[in-house]
Chains A and B, each alone.
Chain A
Amino acid sequence: MILKQNFLAALLFVGAAGFAQEVEFTEFDLDNGLHVILHEDKTAPVVSTSVMYDVGGKDRINGKTGFAHFFEHLLFEGTENIEKGKWFEIVSSNGGTNNANTSNDRTYYYEIFPSNNLELGLWMESERMMHPIIKKEGVDTQNEVVKEERRSRMDNSPYGNLLQSVAGAMFEKHPYKDPNIGYMEDLDAATLDEFKEFFDTYYVPNNAVLVVAGDIDVSDTKKMVKDYFGDIPKGEEVKRNFEMETPMTKEVRTTTYDSNIQIPASILGYRTPSFTEKDSYVLNMISDYLSDGKSSILYKKLVDEQKQALQVAAFNLEQSDYGMYLIFALPLGETSLETLNTEMEEEISKLRNELISEKDFQKLQNKAENAYVNSNSSVAGIGESLATSYLLYGDTNLVNEEIDIYRSITREDIKRVATEYLKPSQRVVVDYLPESQKAE
């Protein structure tokens, strides 16, 4: 009987391991240093062409902020062979979609086309990397657009400065202290030469990864990539030397006012390790435990049972140099921010002092796995995962191994990470208040 059970257990184990997801890919460098990753998947005649540049909000020129995000806009203005204003038209009239986004750590541009337009996608991305038009006219246009974006996303939007209020308090020296979108006075003061210099520094093949994913022929695609990207000149090696922070030793309290809100918010912020660390994955799991779904700990307690909060959310803002772990709550009725903070800390202290239940733990594993599986359900999603794995994590194959990291997490890890990083003595507490409460 015992033998039989062992045999079954072994079978189950093999089963679980054998079902691991496998994203196959080929990768190589061009002579100019451009790293290329090709993922062939002929399930659907769809192809995604994308370039991730190793440049983000943290990168400056002469101390000026907001450049990477600005370039996210500027690099749609046109190239030597793509007329100004035609970019989007070309994409849509060929049955595709496209967009771009910028974080503190990287910028990502992509197109998704029916696969017979693979060459078009490569041409467009190579045009963008090789010789975009950077002229005063385009800079002026995009400066207005970016200001509008800043107004609608931050200045005019309820709780729009929330992230910045925490970042400003959590970092003193590292560029993460400043907003990703930048300060408008920096962009206004930036010269055309500075834009050109920024482009020449960061938007070079040796500082980027090109990913082509979908219905492709690998050797044809290799050749096309060489044809379109091979003659783009290599740039200088990008060097960064950011000043790092000294560890926090006591709580930092700060108050921010927002004219777009009536209900205040409380935010607890914790400085956490880089997203390449296992502990960052553990923090993602802690977020699920605290606030994902109606059975999560903080939701059940503060929103459902005690009716003290309108809303509560915990999330791990994963970044390259430091992460930011945020717990955010809106009070309901007469509840004070202090009460909310006490109630939230009570649950975090349980994480530090007790192991979560086996059943909750298993549910977290299932959730993590579901999220992971679904993040790679389209070629566009896989393209971005491959680019991220290579450029930010330094290991393309992480796309296949990330789930193993989650699987390796134990209940003890959760307790350890909570103890190490989610401490009251190392937190930022932001009272995020309506402008009307500003003392006269």
Chain B
Amino acid sequence: MMKNYIIAFAVFLFTANMFAQIDRSVMPKPGPAPQVNVEEPENFDLDNGLEVLIVENHKLPRVSMSLRLDNPPIFEGDKAGVTSLMGSLLGSGTATMTKDAFNERVDFLGARMNFYSGGASANTLSKYFPEILKLMADAAINPYFTEEEFSKAKERQIEGIKSNDKNVAFIASRVRSALAYGKDHPYGEFVTAESVESVTLDDVKKFYQTYYSPQHAYLVIVGDVDEDEVKDLVKKNFSSWKKTEVPETNMPEVTNLGKTQIDFVDMPNAVQSEISVVNTIKLKKKDPDYFPVLVANKILGGGGEARLFLNLREDKGYTYGAYSSTGNDKYASTFTASASVRNAVTDSSVVAFLDEIYKIRKEKVSAAELANAKAKITGDFVLSLEQPSTIANFAYEVETEDLDDDFYKDYLEKIDEVSVEDVQRVAQKYFQPDNARIVVVGKGSDVLENLEKIQYNGKSIPIKYYDKLADAASKPEKKTVDASVSIDKVYENYINAIGGKEAVSKVESVVMIAQGQIQGMTLDLEMKRTTDGKLLQNVSMGGNVMQNQVFDGEKGSMTMQGQKIPYNEEQIAAAKIDANPFPELSVGSATLSGIEQVDGKDAYVVNVDETTKAYYDVGSGLKTQVVKTVSQGGQTMTVPTGYSDYQEVNGVKFPFMMTQSMGPQKLEFKVSEIKVNEGINEGDFTVE
């Protein structure tokens, strides 16, 4: 009995105690911002200059290691490309191991290893760490450069440059750096097919000997290792690495413009304009301004909650995304605000960018914006710390960026200290719209006229013209259609080019089977069309239908993932045009609007309807491209489809290659079969 009382009393006490301590009807408040536990790396040097940083972390039996050469930027000049060629050749065998044997061994151990011009990296289970470190050292110190691998690498690199020749975003980024830093600066120069062509195997060997030196090298090892063991292994494997004096580079001082200007590059194939507002800045990670700049940029353009995104995407629907960034490279960097926008809104987007940049300089940001930006930066930082590679990066940066030892420990506190006044001060200092270049790469015939008309603060903005290599160019001329050419003539030429009216008029139906590749999977496309305006289209993957569309001339439906949706009015109108294999037989409401280039060749542009443009090659008469403007979820995109490889079937030529681009994605369909007047089954076009 007594015992029971005691228990009851104890229980009572316990409960009472608890009620005194928490009130669960109130949501707990966050504690003080956590102090970040960034581990201290151990370090030691080898006589050859290699500095080794070790972060012991025994939580998991794995090790990541990276070799990083903190060389000053290298100006390659007319041998531009030698750096990346050297990097791509590392790891293809050593003095004592063939390339295949080397790769097989790394795979068998379940490890990953990569090499690049500025170093190497690897991940492994800790029990294989000694062997992986040895393999990495061997490949880095005793590389075996062969003529065979060299010419393969060179070919790949030239192929890469060529494949980007029409890539508007690639050209824009290249021109932006070249103009901002200058082509005589390591950050402004770029690789061309000619410069790669001029590189020899000897150049690569010489480059390796000169720059792949332990002088400014760091070896960062994170994970389940023992410091003493690492010392022994590193000494054993890296002591033979000979130190060479890496030459100092004299870099020109970077500057900004006295007055804002638009730098325009004409790319007739562009369906979007690449816009970037850019000025160079002098900001290092160790500068007191670093944290306020981080916050200011977060508010201006650091993500999906930032002002540029909210304005250009959410509010105006000009683009899929608009962002800004501020570099903190110890030699030179830029502030850049950029977006890819529809041609038609290029000028309005330039104005929207300038509005936002001026606004964050002129007005203080709100307390809520500041708090959100800080919360976001804090969250990103905290999450990143889960990866051991982050700790390695921190340790490396503390060494190479000359940071305080506590830089990352105090990181969140420093973010927390940033005030609205700080944000405005650094915005005025680093975002310089009065001295910026507004680099626009796009289709001159569509966008120039309006760019010229921009009035900002009552003034027009001067435009300078450049080519794709960032050399000064003259203003692109607008081509005009010869007075003798009419829409009827363009259509007639097309019909003649594909086989003539007689052959074409015999066609009643066309069945097309094509295959496309997307992310390594094969998409099968089957399309049946009749000249009386019926349509069936199946897209399938691995035999399973992904999408099915049927149109019987009057009504239609689309089925996706088992859900059938009837066509709306717009879709019916579009299907009426798409169903006909030869819309060129009758002009209808189509109009001829001018001449533009498609893949470098002049083509007549026909406005088929409000959302569709068709392009007919001036020389051959063939249809080479159709561009559709589609709206989806408030976003407007242009989707170009290219037609090529015309081949004759039953006396009529059909394109056997179709290329469709959707944003950065490119989908190529190769036609495997075309059947004329056969292959249509009863019920193909039945809409239930």
The reply on A26 being an interface residue by CB < 8 A is no
B31 with A117: CB separation less than 8 A: yes
Nearest chain B residue, comparing its CB with the CB of A24: B59
Nearest chain A residue, comparing its CB with the CB of B62: A373
Shortest CB-to-CB span from B566 to chain A, Å, is: 19
Option from B39, B391, B562 in Cβ contact (under 8 Å) with A260: B562
B37 with A263: CB separation less than 8 A: no
A114 with B562: CB separation less than 8 A: no
Q: Chain B residues near A396 (CB, 8 Å)?
A: none
A23 with B25: CB separation less than 8 A: no
The reply on B108 being an interface residue by CB < 8 A is yes
Bound CA–CA A352/B391 (angstroms):
47
B22 with A228: CB separation less than 8 A: yes
A367 with B36: CB separation less than 8 A: no
A23 with B382: CB separation less than 8 A: no
The reply on A180 being an interface residue by CB < 8 A is no
Interface residues of A in 75-132 (CB under 8 A from B): 81-82, 90, 94-95, 114-120, 122-123, 126-127
Bound CA–CA A427/B220 (angstroms):
52
The reply on A226 being an interface residue by CB < 8 A is yes
Bound CA–CA A330/B562 (angstroms):
21
Q: Chain A residues near B114 (CB, 8 Å)?
A: none
Shortest CB-to-CB span from B122 to chain A, Å, is: 14
Shortest CB-to-CB span from B97 to chain A, Å, is: 18
Which of the segments A186-194, A338-346, A375-383 contacts the partner chain? A375-383
**B34-51: contact bitstring with A at CB < 8 Å (1 yes, 0 no)?**
111101000000000000
Nearest chain B residue, comparing its CB with the CB of A224: B22
A366 with B27: CB separation less than 8 A: no
Known A-B contacts A90-B27, A114-B34, A116-B33; the reply to A45 vs B382 at CB < 8 A is yes
B383 with A118: CB separation less than 8 A: no
Known A-B contacts A19-B127, A45-B37, A95-B379; the reply to A373 vs B60 at CB < 8 A is yes
Known A-B contacts A95-B379, A373-B125; the reply to A45 vs B25 at CB < 8 A is no
Nearest chain A residue, comparing its CB with the CB of B58: A22
Option from A114, A119, A156, A260 in Cβ contact (under 8 Å) with B378: A114
Q: Chain A residues near B561 (CB, 8 Å)?
A: 156-157
The reply on B163 being an interface residue by CB < 8 A is no
Q: Chain A residues near B664 (CB, 8 Å)?
A: none
The reply on A20 being an interface residue by CB < 8 A is yes
B110 with A366: CB separation less than 8 A: yes
Nearest chain A residue, comparing its CB with the CB of B224: A19
Q: Chain A residues near B61 (CB, 8 Å)?
A: 19-21, 369, 373
Q: Chain A residues near B386 (CB, 8 Å)?
A: 43-44, 46, 377-379
The reply on B543 being an interface residue by CB < 8 A is yes
Interface residues of A in 18-50 (CB under 8 A from B): 19-23, 41-46
Shortest CB-to-CB span from A103 to chain B, Å, is: 25
The reply on B649 being an interface residue by CB < 8 A is no
Shortest CB-to-CB span from A16 to chain B, Å, is: 5
Number of interface residues of A (CB under 8 A): 59
The reply on A356 being an interface residue by CB < 8 A is no
A41 with B18: CB separation less than 8 A: no
B378 with A46: CB separation less than 8 A: no
**A200-243: contact bitstring with B at CB < 8 Å (1 yes, 0 no)?**
00000000000000010000000000111011000000000000
Bound CA–CA A94/B28 (angstroms):
11
Bound CA–CA A359/B107 (angstroms):
12
B24 with A126: CB separation less than 8 A: yes
Known A-B contacts A95-B375, A119-B31, A373-B61; the reply to A114 vs B382 at CB < 8 A is yes
Option from B24, B382, B543 in Cβ contact (under 8 Å) with A81: B24
Shortest CB-to-CB span from A426 to chain B, Å, is: 31
The reply on A259 being an interface residue by CB < 8 A is yes
Shortest CB-to-CB span from A216 to chain B, Å, is: 10
Nearest chain A residue, comparing its CB with the CB of B10: A31
Bound CA–CA A117/B28 (angstroms):
8
Option from A19, A46, A82, A120 in Cβ contact (under 8 Å) with B385: A46
Q: Chain B residues near A296 (CB, 8 Å)?
A: none
Bound CA–CA A377/B389 (angstroms):
12
A95 with B382: CB separation less than 8 A: yes
Known A-B contacts A43-B59, A81-B25, A226-B18; the reply to A116 vs B108 at CB < 8 A is no
| Residue of B383, B385, B563 contacting most chain A CB atoms (<10 Å) | B383
Shortest CB-to-CB span from B59 to chain A, Å, is: 7
Shortest CB-to-CB span from B547 to chain A, Å, is: 13
The reply on B519 being an interface residue by CB < 8 A is no
Q: Chain B residues near A379 (CB, 8 Å)?
A: 386
Shortest CB-to-CB span from B667 to chain A, Å, is: 21
Bound CA–CA A119/B45 (angstroms):
45
Q: Chain B residues near A376 (CB, 8 Å)?
A: 59-60
The reply on A350 being an interface residue by CB < 8 A is no
A15 with B27: CB separation less than 8 A: no
The reply on B15 being an interface residue by CB < 8 A is yes
The reply on A158 being an interface residue by CB < 8 A is yes
Known A-B contacts A21-B61, A43-B39, A370-B125; the reply to A116 vs B385 at CB < 8 A is no
Q: Chain B residues near A45 (CB, 8 Å)?
A: 34-37, 382, 385
The reply on A310 being an interface residue by CB < 8 A is yes
Shortest CB-to-CB span from A17 to chain B, Å, is: 10
Bound CA–CA A262/B546 (angstroms):
11
Bound CA–CA A158/B386 (angstroms):
37
The reply on A163 being an interface residue by CB < 8 A is no
The reply on B540 being an interface residue by CB < 8 A is yes
Shortest CB-to-CB span from B349 to chain A, Å, is: 31
The reply on B544 being an interface residue by CB < 8 A is yes
Shortest CB-to-CB span from B464 to chain A, Å, is: 46
Nearest chain B residue, comparing its CB with the CB of A21: B61
Q: Chain A residues near B31 (CB, 8 Å)?
A: 115-119
The reply on B30 being an interface residue by CB < 8 A is yes
The reply on B588 being an interface residue by CB < 8 A is no
Q: Chain A residues near B22 (CB, 8 Å)?
A: 227-228
A115 with B28: CB separation less than 8 A: no
Q: Chain A residues near B27 (CB, 8 Å)?
A: 81-82, 90, 120, 123
Shortest CB-to-CB span from B129 to chain A, Å, is: 9
A-B residue pairs, 8 tightest by C-beta = A44-B385, A45-B34, A116-B31, A119-B28, A366-B110, A263-B543, A95-B379, A42-B37
Task: Offer 12 A-B interface pairs, CB within 8 angstroms, sorted by A.
Answer: A23-B59, A43-B386, A45-B385, A81-B26, A117-B28, A117-B30, A127-B24, A228-B24, A310-B543, A362-B108, A366-B108, A376-B60
Listed in ascending order, the chain B residues whose CB lies under 8 Å from chain A are 14-15, 18, 21-22, 24-28, 30-37, 39, 57-62, 108-110, 125-127, 224, 375, 378-379, 382-383, 385-386, 388, 391, 540, 542-545, 561-563
**Given A90-B27, A116-B33; 10 other pairs, CB 8 A cutoff:** A19-B61, A22-B59, A43-B59, A44-B383, A45-B34, A46-B385, A116-B34, A262-B543, A369-B110, A376-B59
